[in-house]
Structure 1
Amino acid sequence: MDATDLFDDPRLTASGLLYEVHEGLIAKLDPIWKANGLSGLDANALMRLSRSPGRRLRMTDLAAQTNLSTSGITRLVDRLQRGGLVRREAAPDDRRSSYAVLTAAGATRLARALPAYLEGIERWFTGLLNRDQLNELVLGLRVVRDAVNPEATALDEDTVGRL
Structure 2
Amino acid sequence: MRLLTDRLERDLQTAAGMPPTYYELLVLLSEAPERTMRMSELAHWTNSKPSRISHAVNKLEQSGWVRRKHYEGDRRGWLATLTDEGLAALEKAAPRHLQSVRAHLIDLLTAEQIRQLGDISEVVLAHLTDEQQQH
* TM-score, normalisation: structure 1: 0.65
- Mapped to 2, the partners of 1:135 and 1:53 lie a distance apart of 31
User: Any unmatched runs of 5+ in structure 1?
Assistant: 1-20, 151-163
Residue 93 of structure 1: how far off its partner (Å): 5.8
Residue 29 of structure 1: how far off its partner (Å): 1.7
Match of 2:79 among 99, 122, 134: 99
In structure 2, relative to structure 1, the CA distance for the partners of 1:101 and 1:132 (3 Å cut) is: farther
Residue 83 of structure 1: how far off its partner (Å): 0.9
Residue 119 of structure 1: how far off its partner (Å): 0.8
Q: 2:7 maps to what in 1?
A: 28
Q: 1:59 maps to what in 2?
A: 39
Three-state SS of the structure 1 residue aligned to 2:76 is: coil
Match of 2:60 among 74, 80, 96: 80
Letter in 2 for 1:30: E
* TM-score, normalisation: structure 2: 0.77
Q: Tell me the C-alpha RMSD between the 2 structures.
A: 2.4
- Mapped to 2, the partners of 1:75 and 1:55 lie a distance apart of 19
In 1, are the aligned partners of 2:12 and 2:96 still within 8 Å (CA)? no
Aligned length: 129
Matched, 1:119 2:99: yes
Letter in 2 for 1:80: L
The structure having more radius of gyration, on CA atoms, is 1
In 1, are the aligned partners of 2:60 and 2:66 still within 8 Å (CA)? yes
Percent identity over paired residues: 30
